[in-house]
Amino acid sequence: MDIIEPARTVPVFYEADICVLGGSCTGAFAVVRAARLGARVVIIEKQGAFGGVATSGLVNIWHSLYNTEFDKQIIAGLTLETIERLKLIDAVRAEKKNHSVGYVLNTEELKIELDRLILENGVKAYLHTVFTAPFVQDGELKAVIIENKSGRGAIKAKLFIDATGDGDLCARLKLDERMSPHFQPSTTCAKISGWGESGDATEDGIANEQLLDIHLSEALLRYKDEFGIPEGFGWGRHVPGSRDVYMYSGTRVYHSSSADGTELTYSEIEGRRQVRAIMDLIRKYGPQNKLSLVSLPSYIGTRETRHINCAYRLTGNDVLYGTKFDDAIANGSYRVDIHHQDKPGLTFKYLDGQEVYLRPGHPQVVGRWRDSLPNNPTFYQIPYRSLLPKGPYDNVILAGRMIDVDEEAFGGVRVMVNMNQTGEAAGVAAYLALTQSRSLHQINVGLIRQTLAEGGSIML
């Protein structure tokens, strides 16, 4: 049964040159870069804070800004600027020459720092605001319809950046999209006090899970059926400045897509149930640990949902062999990291050809996906074309995890330090399209790269 909603007049809340949907660090960096160049901009975010998975999802690490050999910096821009700002208040800790972690963040302080970035650059911002529909007139995207405490209204703009993570704008525009049958599962993180003072990761990324009289990974494997905890993978870090508050990421919600309303609801509840189950396990089998649940995320940590089909699909070979692109707008060195749907644990593929399968509580399976090369690549790149959706709307560009990459490539490029760069590139490209009265597909990529470099990004 369907209900026909009567037509109604919708007030225009704001008119801008560029509208960014989604206020993760990716979206925030997009709107700030465009604002710094002189565009009139607006950003729409459904949560009560900017930062996305880093803040609302509690994920408190950014990966290395250097290549795999740690001898050349490959990422800078607003990611580095934000790190430097957090250093001033002791809200970030560096872990040098670590393939698993580059920086540990106090993500509550990050929320405030992103607020400051937005305000300092004159960005019009709407929090607690949901994008509901595109407004298309004469075949052209003219506005987006939003809803918040003020009611239902429209945001008009000349260009739009879809930084929603799930590609919500593109999906509602009915652009070509796909969902991987093996999309990486979601994780609910938690901040827990009383964890202890050590939390350094090993090279394979597993946190130190040796609590008082209990090793968490071993206990999870032994007692998982008793508490209904699926096998997964655990890691975490202490909050900078805290001695015993630990961000633990050890839940796993399989086969549930955050792009579906019913499945997302299930994921949120199931993720929280697993957090409680893990704590109940520790309470029973490690009662000497006086743990207290400090914080749960306002949004589950979603790794993957939709991908929008774009002018170019970045492949696993592109990433693993370090393909260079003339239109590269981002660099990355984080290994391919695949959290499996069809089996527990995860697989790491490194640019030097090594492959490691990790299943907590079991021996590592170490092998090679290819032989070592005389000159192994030390970083990979993301091309601008992977941000340009196919279809009739030439004033829409993507930024974030829904860009066009295959399953293998996604395992590497999906992390925040990489996606942040796609936001900056989208913001710069939108500004150039605006000032040159061209479509996003027609902008000279050399000029995009030059403008990014002038704004502090590293172009290689």
Instruction: Write the pLDDT tens digit of every residue in 84-139.
Output: 999 999 999 999 899 999 999 999 999 999 999 999 999 999 999 999 999 999 99
Structural contact between residues 433 and 414, judged by C-beta atoms closer than 8 angstroms: no
- List 152's β-bridge partners, or say none: 147
Question: How many Cβ atoms sit within 10 Å of the Cβ of residue 214?
Answer: 17
Q: Which of 44, 38, 37 is nearest to 20 (CA)?
A: 44
Q: Which residue has the tokens 């913001």?
A: 427
- List 396's β-bridge partners, or say none: 160
What secondary structure, in 3-state letters, does the chain show?
CCCCCCCCCCCEEEEEEEEEECCEHHHHHHHHHHHHHCCCEEEECCCCCCEHHHCCCCCCEECCCECCCCCCECCCHHHHHHHHHHHCCCCEEECCCCCCCCEEECHHHHHHHHHHHHHHCCCEEECCCEEEEEEEECCEEEEEEEEECCEEEEEEEEEEEECCCCCHHHHHCCCCEEECCCCCCEECEEEEECCCCCCCCCCCCCCCCEECCEEHHHHHHHHHHHHCCCCCCCEEEECCCCCCCEEEECCCECCCCCCCHHHHHHHHHHHHHHHHHHHHHHHHHCCCCCCEEEECCCCCECCCCEEECECCCECHHHHHCCCCCCCEEEEECCCEEEECCCCCCEEEECCCCEEEEECCCCCCEEEECCCCCCCCCCCEEEEHHHHCECCCCCCEEECCCCCCECHHHHHHHCCHHHHHHHHHHHHHHHHHHHHHCCCCCCCCHHHHHHHHHHCCCCCC
The confidence score (pLDDT) of residue 207 equals 52
Q: Which of 334, 331, 329, 338 is nearest to 351 (CA)?
A: 334
Tell me the longest C-alpha to C-alpha distance in the chain: 68
Regions of the chain short of the pLDDT cut 50: 198-206
The confidence score (pLDDT) of residue 266 equals 98
The letter for the amino acid at 390 is K
The confidence score (pLDDT) of residue 206 equals 47
pTM value is 0.96
- Residue 209 sits at φ, ψ, to 5 deg, of -105, 20
- Residue 202 sits at φ, ψ, to 5 deg, of -80, 175
- Report how far apart, in Å, the C-alpha atoms of 457 and of each of 333, 352, 423, 460 are: 16, 26, 12, 10
Q: Which of 213, 285, 288, 220 is nearest to 248 (CA)?
A: 220
Structural contact between residues 405 and 314, judged by C-beta atoms closer than 8 angstroms: yes
pLDDT single digits (tens) 333-365: 999 999 999 888 899 999 999 999 999 888 999
Q: What angle do CA 81, 32, 85 make, to 5 degrees?
A: 25
Distance separating alpha carbons of residues 244 and 167, to the nearest angstrom: 37
The confidence score (pLDDT) of residue 201 equals 42
Structural contact between residues 192 and 246, judged by C-beta atoms closer than 8 angstroms: yes
Structural contact between residues 294 and 192, judged by C-beta atoms closer than 8 angstroms: yes
Structural contact between residues 182 and 407, judged by C-beta atoms closer than 8 angstroms: yes
Structural contact between residues 68 and 352, judged by C-beta atoms closer than 8 angstroms: yes
- Report how far apart, in Å, the C-alpha atoms of 311 and of each of 72, 96, 281, 389 are: 30, 36, 49, 6
